[in-house]
Amino acid sequence: MTRILGGGELSAAIRADVTARAGGLRESGVQPKLAVVTATDDESTAWYVRSIAKAATRTGIECQIVDLGATAVQNDVLSALVELSADSDVHGIILQTPLPDGVDVTSLRTAITPDKDVDGANPLSLGRLLANQPAFAPATAAAVMALLDHHEVPLRGRLASVVGRSVVVGTPVAHLLVQRDATVTVCHHHTVDLAASTRNADVVVVAVGVPGLVTAEHVADGAIVVDVGTTATDDGTLLGDVDAASVEGRAGGLTPVPGGVGPVTTALLLANTVTAATTLSTTTHRDAGVLVGAVAR
């Protein structure tokens, strides 16, 4: 029997905590506020952004969607990020992808001030994370770790395989697992024998966006499998990277898609926003060298 490691309970607990903390901030005169910058007419992105906005509102966080439209150019996005970074009413900033062709998301991420970088998108946030300094981790990576902890999956000394090396998921997850004393193997599309690199692992995290990539042959008996993949089909179904039917009975536990990492990610974005609002509202002056916005990890 493969245990289903859902994210609903954890997500609800985080959101309840966020609601309480947001209430406390409002009582002290601070309205926590999240800004989401978007520049696409992709419908599934619009749906996702609205779902963040709804979740924010429900927990008492104001959410401003800055829709620059699908014709936005580099400078439009840059100006928006610089303005929001400087706006003392804004505590969290998310730059939503995809962006229009010709817009370089990597350089734009450096324009999000690290103390509002609730999705850990700025390379400085990533660098701080890797230098073991306080920083917001990319929310999806943090959600993977939170989900493993919630389901009491031991990590120290265990073998973990991360499939995928993206800047937003694979790379930070691998590092967070190393920080938690797991022995970690990073696999990607140049890995010659993927199954050989995953089937000894106690924990397998898959984040590539290839539906059904991971099957029983990739998974050790009893291994915990975290599925970060979310590929949307034409009919709106979300598909994970793990073939759930194939690993059923073999994996010890599997996070479902949807309902696993996704809702925890959203909840952590809100939690980070409240943390940022708390830090920003209690800090009158910050030196360049002072680090803000520690994420729970």
Strand pairing class (203-206; 159-163): parallel
Minimum CB distance to its own copies smaller for 181 or for 217:
181
- Residue 214 structure tokens: 């991971």
- Would you say 84 and 90 are in contact if contact means Cβ atoms under 8 Å apart? yes
Applying CB under 8 A, among 71, 88, 132, 282 the residue interacting with its own copies is 132
Looking at 47-55, 142-150, 163-171, 206-214, which segment touches its own copies (CB under 8 A)? 163-171
180-183 LR contacts (CB < 8 Å, sep 24+): 180/145, 180/155, 180/156, 181/155, 181/156, 181/157, 182/155, 182/156, 182/157, 182/158, 183/157, 183/158, 183/159
The answer to the question of residue 184 lying near its own copies (CB under 8 A) is yes
| x/- letters, 49..88, toward its own copies (CB under 8 A) | -----------------------------x----------
Phi-psi region of 228 (alpha: psi -120 to 50; beta: other; left: phi over 0): alpha
Element (H, E) at 203: strand 203-206
Indicate which single residue of 116, 175, 218, 250 sits in contact with its own copies (rule: CB under 8 A).
175
Summarize the annotated binding site for NADP(+) as residue ranges.
164-166, 230
Residues between 224 and 283 with contacts to its own copies, criterion CB under 8 A: none
Which segments are annotated as binding site?
164-166, 230
* Nearer residue to its own copies within complex by CB, 232 or 291: 291
Please report whether residue 218 would count as binding its own copies according to CB under 8 A: no
Q: Is the dihedral of CA 98, 164, 248, 246 positive or negative?
A: positive
Rule CB under 8 A: choose which of 13, 46, 65, 130 binds its own copies: 130
Q: Does 140 bind its own copies (CB under 8 A)?
A: no
Q: How many C-alpha atoms does 291 have within 13 Å on its Cβ side?
A: 14
**Where along the sequence are the contacts to its own copies (CB under 8 A)?**
78, 106-111, 122-133, 156-157, 159, 165, 167, 171, 174-175, 178, 181-188, 190-192, 197, 288-291
